[in-house]
Amino acid sequence: MFGKMKFVVGLLFLTLLFVYACASKQGSGYVFPSIHPEELEPGRPVCSDCHDESDRIVYSRFNHTVTFADNHRLLAYQYEQACSMCHQQRFCDDCHGVRLEEKPSDRNRTSTFRRTPHRGDYLARHRIDGRVDPTSCFRCHGNPKTAETCAPCHG
Amino acid sequence: MKIDKFVTVFSCFAVGCLFAPGWVDAGALEITSESSLALYERDTGTDSDSTLVPFYEYLGVNYTTDVEGLSFHGYAWGRLNLGDNDYYRDESDGELLYGYLKYRLDTANVGMKLGRQHLFSGVANASLDGVSMRAALGTNFDISLYGGSPVALAEDGRSGDSILGGRISNYLPGLYELGLSYKKIRNDSTDDDEKLGLDISLNLPYTIGLNGFSSLNMVTDSWAEHSYELQARAGAFQVRYFLQLFQYDDYFSSSKESPNPFKFLAGSGEELTIIGAEVDWFGAESYEVNVKAKNIDYDLRGDSSTYISGMVIKHLEDMCQVGLELGVMAGDTSENDYLIGRAFVYWDKLPESIPVEFISTDLILVGYDEDIYGQSNSTFVSLGAGKTFLDKALALKFSLDYSKDPYFDNDFRSKLVAEYTFGKE
């Protein structure tokens, strides 16, 4: 009962907030474009080529270096809207959609430039990577649904 | 199951509404289809070396109506096993990954999503069936809220399951952003996870930046994680220092839904510290060189491991790339030591006399310090090629993989993929 009460209160607060935000058109903060205003050339984006440090966010941190795919976690936690200017949710699901059956590197076998996770013989290598740093496994495989691929061996 | 059915019916209803007469011509419809047919062998419960022929379909829909800011987005996958075996008997045959109505009011910086969606926001990294919204509160504050039923806990029924949370942030453009986030998950009417997150982004002089994230486990009342990075740019160099601290008892969960092998880690009392740095060099225009080193240290186990890697990438026009990568994991425990080398090519500037538009190759060699199932190394080779048709709306890709490793003696896998996009401008 208490849970339902909190849900109702939360929903009410959300509705009021939504109405308030819609009503206060003047003075609202920076609006992220829904898509990147300029069409980008094919290839890896180097955001600092065009953006300087005074933008709403520091775009140089989004430079798609060769290890950007390994290191973008903290940026995504803060600036999901910046990611979605160029990437649809299904692009993220290629690697983060652990409710997909195929592992990322199997799904995108010919996209060798993407450095998708679990390339090659990862079944053997994950024994070591998992021992060394299980927190990186947990981020994607940490709930019953996304741990289905772990269950056949780990129970 | 009721909510699953609701989500399916809701998504169909939403698409139906949007496609109804009077709407369909006014908006922009984009459908993406990725169909693939794979062929390989695996042991099943009753046979060895059974031939598997899975057919996968990934279907995406984006529909933008002429009602300003209103759109529908959906994405789902399904599998049909064309082989004569029961290899997939315990697996789901498909799933709706997301399907939501989105409303966006640019003038007030308001956004709202209704339906199945995935959230990345502060402590939230979860799929839910429900509602989320974000809005600007004045010129320097943003707020986002969400609530619904977590998809991850649907396996044992969804009665009593809920997820609620949000994030509020304060920022000054080009200077800083500070965020406070909260997430609470209930499973079968009992608290399963409750976390408070603090994230920071700080822009310092001389192109130095700090990003960080800390999460507090409110069930155990102790810090679960601290992850902080310091970046600096100087000319063609980009440097990143990082520090991560994890307390296993607070980071992992020991709740009844916590899966193995993480469940038992929650009671281990272990603390993990990762400290490292990487340097990236965008040197002679088309070259990129990356060197990375990190040390992984344990409090209770007392041992540590170090991973050092180097990469050289030659970028050519468009996506044309050639790359070499070498990494070594070395530490106090020899069973964790390995050496990995990778070479890859993606080439889409082929002469017209060649009947394909791109080729791709991947070679990965790994040597293990201690044998795994009697094997001291593994070899993986992938060859691929593809061509586009219908003004690039249709792409056909073929790949052949070979692996010889501790788990598979001589494993060949092939795959044919057809990607089709309708309505993309």
Give the DSSP per-residue string, B20-89: STTTTTTSEEEEEEEEEEEEEEE--SS-SSEEE-EEEEEEEEEEE-SSTTEEEEEEEEEEEE-SSS-TTT
Query: Of A10, A90, A139, which has the smallest distance from its Cβ to B75's Cβ?
Result: A90
Residues of A in contact with B105 (CB under 8 A): 22
Answer left, alpha or beta for residue B366, where phi above 0 means left and psi between -120 and 50 means alpha.
beta
Which tokens is B42 given? 């695996």
Closest residue of B to A57, CA-based? B174
Mean pLDDT of chain B: 89
Whether residue A78 and residue B177 make contact (CB cut-off 8 A), yes or no, is yes
Give the number of residues written for chain B.
425
Positions in chain A short of pLDDT 70:
1-4, 6-7, 10-11, 14-15, 17-18, 21-29, 97-98
The answer to whether B265 and B291 are in contact (CB under 8 A) is: no
Burial B34-64 (b: 16+ CB within 10 A, else e): bebebbbbbeeeeeeebebebebebbbbbbb
Closest CA to A74 of B209, B340, B235, B135: B209
Question: What whole-number distance in Å separates Cα of residue B151 and Cα of residue B138?
Answer: 33
- Residue A118, phi-psi category: left (phi > 0), alpha (psi -120 to 50), beta (remainder): left
Q: First vs last Cα of chain B: how many Å apart?
A: 38
Angle separating helix axes A122-132 and A134-141, nearest 10 degrees: 110
Q: Which residues of B touch A130 (CB under 8 A)?
A: 261
pLDDT at B308: 97
Please indicate whether residue B25 or residue B376 has the higher confidence score (pLDDT).
B376
- Nearest beta carbon to residue B361 from set A77, A80, A112: A112
Q: Would you state the pLDDT for residue A7?
A: 64
DSSP string, B138-157: SSSEEEEEEEEEEGGGGGG-
Q: Are B276 and B295 in contact (CB under 8 A)?
A: yes
Give mean pLDDT, residues B321-340: 94
pLDDT confidence of residue B1: 43
> Of B246 and B253, which is predicted with more confidence?
B246
Residue B55 has pLDDT above 80, yes or no: yes
Residue B27 binned pLDDT confidence (cut-offs 50, 70, 90): low
Report how far residue B66's alpha carbon sits from residue B15's, in angstroms, rounded to the nearest whole number.
14
Exposure string of B256-282, with b = 16+ CB inside 10 Å and e = fewer, is: ebbbebbbebbeeebbbebebebebbb
B59 Cβ contact list (under 8 Å, min separation 6): B31, B32, B33, B34, B74, B75, B76, B77, B78
Q: What is the tally of helices (H) and strands (E) in chain B?
A: 2, 23
Q: Which residues, 6 or more positions from A35, have their beta carbon under 8 angstroms from its beta carbon?
A: A85, A86
Convert the pLDDT of each residue in B121-178 to its tens digit. Answer: 899 988 999 999 998 888 888 999 999 999 988 877 888 899 999 999 999 888 899 9
Q: Give the mean pLDDT of B340-354.
A: 93
Q: What would the DSSP string read from start to end of B249-291?
A: HHHS--STTPPTTTGGGGGS--EEEEEEEEEEE--STTEEEEE
> For residue B68, is pLDDT > 90?
no
Q: Which of A 59-78 lie inside 8 A of B, CB atoms?
A: 60-61, 63, 65-67, 71, 73-78
Q: Which of A63, A78, A44 is nearest to B238 (CA)?
A: A63
- Mean pLDDT within B386-397: 93
Chain A residues inside the 8 Å CB shell of B311: 66-67
Q: Distance (Å) from the C-alpha of residue B374 to the closest C-alpha of chain A?
A: 12
pLDDT tens for residues B352-381? 899 999 999 999 999 999 999 999 999 999
Residue % of chain B over a pLDDT of 90: 63
Mean pLDDT of B393-404: 96
Q: Is B330 helix (H, G, I), strand (E, B) or coil?
A: strand
pLDDT, residue B3, reads: 47
Res. B14: pLDDT tops 80: no
Residue B212 has pLDDT above 50, yes or no: yes
| Distance of residue A155 Cα from the nearest chain B Cα, in angstroms | 6
**Chain B residue whose CA is closest to A48:** B233
pLDDT confidence tier of residue B87, bands split at 50, 70 and 90: confident
CA B180 to centroid of chain Cα atoms: 23
A93 C-beta neighbours (distance < 10 Å), count: 22
Give the closest-approach CA distance of A111 to chain B in angstroms. Answer: 7
pLDDT digits (tens, 9 = 90+) for B88-114: 887 888 999 999 999 988 776 789 999
Give the SS3 label for residue B116. strand
Q: Over range B34-51, report the average pLDDT.
A: 85
Residue A35: CB atoms within 10 A of its CB come to 11
> Can you give the pLDDT at residue A41?
81
Interface test with B, best of A101, A107, A131, A141 (most B CBs within 10 A): A101
Write down the pTM of the prediction: 0.88
What confidence tier does B180 reach under pLDDT thresholds 50, 70, 90? very high
Residue B6 — very low, low, confident or very high, per pLDDT cuts 50/70/90? very low
Q: Which of A4-8, B203-207, B270-274 has the highest mean pLDDT?
A: B270-274
